[in-house]
């Protein structure tokens, strides 16, 4: 696990993908690393266990040392505000320092990552900071969007369909433009943007074909056509899916 640099033996920081939420959908490698972890780091909101930590509850050795990383409160700051970038940048720098110290002391650290570590995840911001200074390895995982379209019971792409993944945080006009150009569509970061997503889908002519999946693969999973719900907002773990209808035998 550890890597030798000069005369020092450094530990490895592992970014371990947990998948969409069901522990049964974790990879064998992820399961093995988590059950054998000496140091376990994970993101969370202050005062809460955090979804990633909940997923692995009951899997950890009694001797594990936990390293919770509490997000700063930024919900009241717009994405475009320099204060938002500064708050998150400082947070990731602090997390990097904590993990780097462990690795430089020869300790391996498992960082829990919801979904896949390299797909819109917080771990990416640690990876780019840690990679130049300590060994970092990544364990890929099933994405939340894969669990979401599977939950609808319909294939998401056929033949030459082009799949687009867009963020609900985009401006409404940009959303509708991307949606109109896609054959199959996944909309992430729906949450407070659900109303905007609805309007953009309507403008793109895809509203009636859209599905809203909440908590894909988790016990509280719900699957419904978006046009059949009047909700103005959606939970954090929500994804909108529009299936492609492309070429098939």
The domain limits of the chain are: 3-142, 145-242
CB neighbourhood size of 178 (10 A): 18
CA geometry: angle 71, 140, 69, nearest 5 deg: 15
Average pLDDT, integer, range 105-121: 97
Q: Phi-psi region for residue 93, left (φ > 0), alpha (ψ -120 to 50) or beta?
A: alpha
CATH number of 145-242: 3.30.950.10
Mean pLDDT of 24-30: 97
Provide the token pair at 139.
Answer: 């364990």
- Which secondary structure element, helix H or strand E, spans residue 28, and what is its range? helix 28-35
Report in angstroms the alpha-carbon separations of 111 from 9, 60, 68, 76.
20, 13, 10, 27
Question: Which of 224, 235, 165, 147 lies closest to 194 in space, CA to CA?
Answer: 235
The per-residue pLDDT for 87 is: 85
Neighbours of 119 (CB within 10 A): 19
DSSP 160-225: TPPEEEEETTS-HHHHHHHHHH-SEEEEE--GGGHHHHHHHHHHHT-GGGEEEEESTTSTT-EEEE
Span 154-172, pLDDT tens digits: 999 999 999 999 999 999 9
Percent of the chain with pLDDT over 70: 94
Q: What is the mean pLDDT of residues 195-200?
A: 97
Q: How far does the chain reach from its first CA to its final CA, in angstroms?
A: 48
- Where on the phi/psi map is residue 179: left (φ > 0), alpha (ψ -120 to 50), or beta? alpha
**CATH 3.30.390.50, applies to 3-142:** no
Q: Model-level pTM? A: 0.89
Mean pLDDT, to the nearest integer, of 55-69?
96
Confidence class of residue 86 from pLDDT cuts 50, 70 and 90? confident
- CA 192, CA 64: separation in Å to the nearest integer? 36
Mean pLDDT computed over 103-116: 97
What confidence category does residue 77 fall into, taking pLDDT thresholds of 50, 70 and 90?
low
Partners of 63 in beta bridges: none
pLDDT in tens, 220-229: 999 999 999 9
Phi first, then psi: give them for residue 97, nearest 5 degrees: -60, -45
Contact 117, 125 (CB under 8 A): no
- Please tell me the least confidently modeled range out of 81-85, 92-96, 113-117, 211-215: 81-85
Q: Is the pLDDT reported for residue 85 higher than 90?
A: no
């Amino acid at each position: 696990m550890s890597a030798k640099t000069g005369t020092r033996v450094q530990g490895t920081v592992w970014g371990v993908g947990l998948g969409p939420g069901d522990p049964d959908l974790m990879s064998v490698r992820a399961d093995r690393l988590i059950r054998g972890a000496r140091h376990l780091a994970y993101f969370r909101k202050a005062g809460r266990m955090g979804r990633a930590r909940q997923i692995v509850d009951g899997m950890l050795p009694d001797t594990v040392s936990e390293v919770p990383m509490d997000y700063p409160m930024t919900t009241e700051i717009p994405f475009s505000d320099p204060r938002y970038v500064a708050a998150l940048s400082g947070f990731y720098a602090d997390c990097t320092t904590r993990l780097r110290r462990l690795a430089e002391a020869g300790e391996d650290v498992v960082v829990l990552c919801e979904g896949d570590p390299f797909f819109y995840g917080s771990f990416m911001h640690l990876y780019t900071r840690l990679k130049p200074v300590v060994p970092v390895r990544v364990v890929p995982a099933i994405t939340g969007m894969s669990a979401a379209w599977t939950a609808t019971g319909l294939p998401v792409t056929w033949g030459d369909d082009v799949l687009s993944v867009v963020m609900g945080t985009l401006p409404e006009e940009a959303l509708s433009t991307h949606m109109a150009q896609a054959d199959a569509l996944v909309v992430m970061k729906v949450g407070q943007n659900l109303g905007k997503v609805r309007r953009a889908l309507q403008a793109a002519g895809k509203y009636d074909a859209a599905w809203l999946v909440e908590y894909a693969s988790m016990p509280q999973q719900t699957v419904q056509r978006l046009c059949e719900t009047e909700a103005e907002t959606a939970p954090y773990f929500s994804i909108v899916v529009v299936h492609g209808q492309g070429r098939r035998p």
